Amino acid sequence: MSTECFHCGEEVPTDSSYQIILDHTPQAVCCIGCQTVANTIIDQGLADYYRHRQISRGAGPSLPANINIEVSDSSHWQAYDDDDVQGAFVRSKADSEKETELVIDGLTCAACVWLLNQHVGKLKGVLHFNVNLTTQRAYVHWDSQQINLSHIMAAIDAIGYQPGPYQASLAAQRKAKDKRQMIFRLGVAGLGAMQVMMLSFGMYAGMAQGMQVDYLHFMRWAALVLSTPVVLYSAAPFFKAAYRALNNRHLVMDVPVSLAIGAAYIASLWATVFKTGEVYYDSVTMFTFLLLLGRFVESTARYHAGHAGNELHQLLPPVCEKVAAGEAEQIAVSKLQAGDLVRVLPGATIPADGTLMQGTSSINEAALTGEFMPVDKQQGDQLTAGTVNVASALLMQVTHTQDDSRLQQILSMVQQAHSFRPQLSKSADQVAHYFVFAVLVISAIVYSSWYLLDPSKAFWITLSVLVITCPCALSLAAPTATAVATASLRRQGILMTREDSLEQIAKVDTLVFDKTGTLTTGAMSLQQVLPLGELDEATCKLLAARLEQESEHPISRAFRHLDGSQYPLTDMQNHPSQGLSGYWPANNMQLRLGKPEFVQQLGQWQAPLRPTAEGVWLLLGNQHQALAWIHIADAKRPELTKVMPQLKALGMELCILSGDHPSNVAELAQALEVDEWQAGQTPAQKLAFIKAKQAKGKRVLMIGDGINDAPVMAAADASIAMACGTDLSKASAPALLLRDHLGLIGILIKKARHTRRIMIQNLGWALLYNIIALPLAASGMVPPWGAATGMSFSSLFVVLNATRLRRIKHDVQ
CB of 160 to other proteins, least distance (A): 17
Span near other proteins by CB under 8 A; candidates 51-59, 74-82, 467-475, 785-793: 51-59
Q: What is the DSSP string of 627-676?
A: EEEEEEEEEEPTTHHHHHHHHHHTT-EEEEE-SS-HHHHHHHHHHHT-SE
Identify the residue among 63, 104, 111, 654 touching other proteins (CB under 8 A). 111
Nearest distance in Å: CB 51, other proteins: 7
CB of 500 to other proteins, least distance (A): 24
Strands 510-514 and 653-657: parallel
Task: Convert 59-81 into a string of H (helix), E (strand) and C (coil).
Answer: HCCCCCCCCCCCCCCHHHHHHHH
Cβ atoms of 501 and 702 within 8 Å: the answer is no
> Per CB under 8 A, does 192 bind other proteins?
yes
Judged by CB, which is closer to other proteins: 132, or 314? 132
CA 722 to chain centre: 9
Span from 179-187, 406-414, 621-629, 748-756 in contact with other proteins (CB under 8 A): 179-187
Interaction between residue 585 and other proteins (CB under 8 A): no
Residue 44 as a binder of other proteins (CB under 8 A): the answer is: no
- The only residue of 100, 135, 556, 792 in contact with other proteins, by rule CB under 8 A: 135
Closest distance of CB 20 from other proteins, Å: 17
Contact status: 191 vs other proteins (CB under 8 A): yes
Nearer to other proteins, 310 or 770 (CB): 310
**Residue 206, C-beta contacts closer than 8 angstroms, at least 6 positions apart:** 215, 216, 219
User: Which of 24, 51, 249, 696 contacts other proteins by CB under 8 A?
Assistant: 51
Burial call 559-574: b when 16+ CB within 10 Å, e when fewer: bbbbbbeebebeeeeb
Only one of the segments 130-138, 241-249, 349-357, 388-396 lies at the binding site for other proteins (rule: CB under 8 A); that segment is 130-138
Number of residues that bind other proteins (CB under 8 A): 37
Nearer to other proteins, 295 or 693 (CB): 295
Report the residue number, 134 or 145, with the smaller CB distance to other proteins: 134
- Residue ranges in 214-233 that form contacts with other proteins under rule CB under 8 A: 215, 218-219, 222, 225-226, 229
Hey, which residues between 280 and 339 contact other proteins (CB under 8 A)?
300
Q: Binding residue for other proteins (CB under 8 A) from 2, 14, 75, 212? A: 212
CB of residue 59 vs other proteins: minimum separation in angstroms? Answer: 6
Among 11, 48, 534, 675, binds other proteins (CB under 8 A): 48
Terminal Cα distance for the chain, rounded: 17
Which is closer to other proteins, CB of 13 or CB of 163?
Answer: 163
Please, what is the minimum distance in Å from the beta carbon of residue 282 to other proteins?
A: 15
Nearest one of 247, 287, 294 to 263, comparing CA atoms:
287
Q: Longest C-alpha distance within the chain, in Å?
A: 113
> Residue 539: what are its φ and ψ, rounded to 5°?
-65, -45
Name the amino acid, one letter, at 721: A
Report the distance separating Cα 284 and Cα 486, nearest Å.
Answer: 28
Position 492 contacts other proteins (CB under 8 A): no
- Contact of 810 with 778, CB cutoff 8 Å: no
Does 201 help bind other proteins (rule: CB under 8 A)? no
- Residue 27 CB, nearest approach to other proteins (Å): 14
Q: Provide the pairing of β-strand 700-704 with 718-721.
A: parallel
Q: Quick check: 760 binds other proteins (CB under 8 A)? A: no
Cβ closest to other proteins, residue 245 vs residue 305 = 305
In b/e form, how buried is each residue of 11-38, taking b as 16+ CB within 10 angstroms?
Answer: ebbeebebbbeeeeeebbbbbbbbbbbb
Backbone angles phi, psi at 118, to 5 degrees: -70, -50
Task: Report the distance separating Cα 420 and Cα 439, nearest Å.
Answer: 34
189 or 674: whose CB is closer to other proteins?
189
Q: Is 88 helix (H, G, I), strand (E, B) or coil?
A: coil
- Work out whether 133 is an interface residue with other proteins (CB under 8 A): yes
**If binding is defined by CB under 8 A, does position 22 make contact with other proteins?**
no
Other residues' Cβ atoms within 10 Å of the Cβ of residue 354: 27
Alpha carbon distance 140, 128 (integer Å):
6
**Cα–Cα distance between 448 and 432 in angstroms, integer?**
24
226/331 with CB nearer other proteins? 226
188 binds other proteins (CB under 8 A): yes
Interface with other proteins (CB under 8 A): 48, 51-52, 55-56, 58-59, 109-111, 113-114, 118, 131-135, 176, 180, 183-184, 187-188, 191-192, 195, 199, 212, 215, 218-219, 222, 225-226, 229, 300
